[in-house]
């Protein structure tokens, strides 16, 4: 079975993720649970698949880092790939992305989210655990701006998951590693590129957080994601990522620029046979801003319980709204079209002939490299002991 057949099988089973590992059967994540099917996969077959989907241009990058992230369309299905070296050989973690145009209605989100993207500036945080649909919600918010307002939208992603076709807005999408070496460099560049709306795929490093906060203070509407289980935890994670001596100033900056925090998780509804997002929504009232500035994050939960007049939603209140809802958007209700400008058989990671030469790819973060004492001026490369056998022979590199 080749990659296209595996992805097609995963899609037909309603899977959100597909996992492939040498010596194990394929695993599908369906409605949040893993199930395996088929026979164990040979290591040599997975290695050949990896060489095919990564392509020759990026294979040296994989050999260098022993993992690689990219997005690609397989058999008409848009997928986000993480290919990694494991103890058994090459492994795949594949996220199947929705082929339809993500909107607030089609994701069954609360219409109150529209008012947040109508703001001219500020910071919108979309948080939640891994696999909770943060990227889809972010795409729906960007699409809401795209179909209602004339703005310049710039996205920084790693990798690009949803491709947007400009409607009313002017949209540029940049992929980290392909179009810019890092989120930090992309954010620095963005301040000179006249964006109205800036979307940062994910905040992980303190420097990315600092530049994102700065951008939201300089007249831009900034949307980004963060891993957390509650709105209060998302804010606390940002502040605690910085050194103790500057946390007070970061908290003050965060309180001033915050527009909203949307924390979500997916809940399966047997009556609809779909998973729908349950949300906790924080709107920065005067009281909430004071809690953030004073770093009293534990007080935010009680403020949300009593903040309905300010547009806040607790988990319980949002679940009550979902139970009372009658107009659901269900898959297959209407003909869906892929909102993309790319041909379905072309990977966005492939470089056009007029783009930067492959010799300049991938761009390595020089700050994270260490000098090789045996070769002055040459960056040190981490060597990992390869697995014996055919996989080890191919991956083993000369000293």
pLDDT tens digits for range 368-395: 444 444 444 444 443 333 444 444 454 5
User: pLDDT value at position 349?
Assistant: 41
Mean pLDDT of 44-72: 91
Considering the domain boundaries, does residue 124 fall inside one? yes
User: pLDDT value at position 344?
Assistant: 38
The pair of structure tokens assigned to 130 is 């891994």
- pLDDT, one tens digit per residue, over 133-148 is 899 999 999 999 999 9
Considering the domain boundaries, does residue 247 fall inside one? yes
333 confidence band (pLDDT: 50, 70, 90):
low
Instruction: Report how far residue 58's alpha carbon sits from residue 393's, in angstroms, rounded to the nearest whole number.
Output: 19
231 and 150 share a domain? yes
Q: In the predicted model, is pLDDT for residue 236 greater than 60? A: yes
User: pLDDT value at position 29?
Assistant: 92
298 φ/ψ sector (left φ>0, alpha ψ -120 to 50, else beta) = alpha
Q: Is 181 exposed, middle or buried (0-12, 13-18, 19+ CB in 10 A)?
A: middle
Considering the domain boundaries, does residue 380 fall inside one? no
Mean pLDDT, the chain, rounded, equals 84
User: pLDDT value at position 63?
Assistant: 92
Instruction: Report how far residue 326's alpha carbon sits from residue 307's, in angstroms, rounded to the nearest whole number.
Output: 25
82 and 120 share a domain? no
Q: In the predicted model, is pLDDT for residue 269 greater than 50? A: yes
The CB-side HSE value for 396 (13 A sphere, CA atoms) comes to 9
92 and 118 share a domain? no
88 and 118 share a domain? no
99 confidence band (pLDDT: 50, 70, 90):
low
Domains in the chain, number: 2
CATH number of the domain where residue 157 is located: 3.40.50.300
17 and 146 share a domain? no
The pair of structure tokens assigned to 276 is 């729908």
Considering the domain boundaries, does residue 245 fall inside one? yes
Quote the distance between the C-alpha of residue 277 and its chain's center: 16
User: pLDDT value at position 334?
Assistant: 54
Considering the domain boundaries, does residue 379 fall inside one? no
216 and 296 share a domain? yes
Q: Which of 278, 306, 324 is the last residue of a domain?
A: 324
310 and 199 share a domain? yes
149 and 10 share a domain? no
User: pLDDT value at position 357?
Assistant: 38
Q: What's phi and psi for 280, nearest 5 deg?
A: -120, 125
Mean pLDDT of 15-19: 92
- pLDDT, one tens digit per residue, over 273-312 is 888 999 999 999 999 999 999 999 999 999 999 999 999 9
Q: Which of 285, 304, 324 is the last residue of a domain?
A: 324
226 and 283 share a domain? yes
Instruction: Report how far residue 85's alpha carbon sits from residue 22's, in angstroms, rounded to the nearest whole number.
Output: 10
Q: Which of 98, 126, 142 is the last residue of a domain?
A: 98
Q: Are 117 and 144 in contact (CB under 8 A)?
A: yes
Considering the domain boundaries, does residue 192 fall inside one? yes
76 and 158 share a domain? no
72 and 199 share a domain? no
Instruction: Report how far residue 85's alpha carbon sits from residue 394's, in angstroms, rounded to the nearest whole number.
Output: 12
Residue with tokens 């980290």: 176
Instruction: Report how far residue 224's alpha carbon sits from residue 125's, in angstroms, rounded to the nearest whole number.
Output: 5
- pLDDT, one tens digit per residue, over 214-234 is 999 988 999 999 999 999 999
> Which is nearest to 109 in space by CA: 129, 130, 132, 78?
132
C-alpha distance from residue 218 to each of 54, 123, 173 (Å): 39, 11, 21
Q: In the predicted model, is pLDDT for residue 131 greater than 60? A: yes
The pair of structure tokens assigned to 150 is 């004339």
Q: Which residues pair with 98 in a beta bridge?
A: none
The CB-side HSE value for 161 (13 A sphere, CA atoms) comes to 26
Considering the domain boundaries, does residue 381 fall inside one? no
> Which is nearest to 286 in space by CA: 306, 305, 262, 310?
310
Q: Which residues pair with 70 in a beta bridge?
A: 81
145 and 284 share a domain? yes
Q: What share of the chain is helix, strand, coil (3-state, %, to 5)?
A: 35, 25, 40
Beta strands at 258-269 and 122-128: parallel, antiparallel or unpaired: parallel
Considering the domain boundaries, does residue 182 fall inside one? yes
CATH number of the domain where residue 37 is located: 3.30.450.90
Mean pLDDT of 176-190: 92
Domain containing residue 84: 3-98
Mean pLDDT of 165-194: 93
Tell me the pTM.
0.76
What is the Cα gyration radius of the chain? 22
245 confidence band (pLDDT: 50, 70, 90):
very high
């Amino acid at each position: 079975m080749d990659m296209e057949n595996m992805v097609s099988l995963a899609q037909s089973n309603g899977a959100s993720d597909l996992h492939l590992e040498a010596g194990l059967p394929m695993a599908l994540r369906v409605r949040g649970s893993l199930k395996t099917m088929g026979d164990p996969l040979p290591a040599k077959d997975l290695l050949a698949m990896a060489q095919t989907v990564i392509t020759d241009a990026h294979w040296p990058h994989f050999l260098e880092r022993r993992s690689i992230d990219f997005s690609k369309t397989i058999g008409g299905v848009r997928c986000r790939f993480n290919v990694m070296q494991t103890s058994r050989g090459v492994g795949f973690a594949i996220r199947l992305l929705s082929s339809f145009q993500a909107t607030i209605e089609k994701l069954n989100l609360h219409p109150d989210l529209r008012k947040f993207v109508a703001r001219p500036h500020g910071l919108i945080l979309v948080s939640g655990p891994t696999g909770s649909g943060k990227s889809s919600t972010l795409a729906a918010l960007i699409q809401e701006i795209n179909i209602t307002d004339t703005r310049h939208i710039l996205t920084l992603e790693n990798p690009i998951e949803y491709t947007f076709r400009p409607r009313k807005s002017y949209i540029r999408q940049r992929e980290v590693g392909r179009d810019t070496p890092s989120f930090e460099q992309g954010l620095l560049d963005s301040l000179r590129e006249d964006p109205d709306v800036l979307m940062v795929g994910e905040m992980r490093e303190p420097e990315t957080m600092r530049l994102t906060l700065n951008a939201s203070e300089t007249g831009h509407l900034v949307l980004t994601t963060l891993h957390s289980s509650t709105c209060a935890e998302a804010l606390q994670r940002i502040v605690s990522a910085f050194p103790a001596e500057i946390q007070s100033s970061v908290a003050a900056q965060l309180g001033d620029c915050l527009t909203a925090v949307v924390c979500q998780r997916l809940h399966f509804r047997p009556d609809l046979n779909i998973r729908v997002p349950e949300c906790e929504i924080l709107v920065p009232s005067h009281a909430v801003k004071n809690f953030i500035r004073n770093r009293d994050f534990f007080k935010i939960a009680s403020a949300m319980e009593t903040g309905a007049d300010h547009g806040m939603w607790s988990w319980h209140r949002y679940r009550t709204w979902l139970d009372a809802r009658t107009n659901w958007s269900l898959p297959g209700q209407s003909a869906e079209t892929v909102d993309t400008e790319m041909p379905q058989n072309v990977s966005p990671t492939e470089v056009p002939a007029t783009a930067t030469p492959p010799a300049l790819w991938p761009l390595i973060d020089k700050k994270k490299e260490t000098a090789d004492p045996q070769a002055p001026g040459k960056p040190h490369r981490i060597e990992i002991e390869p697995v014996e056998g055919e996989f080890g022979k191919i991956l083993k590199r000369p000293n």
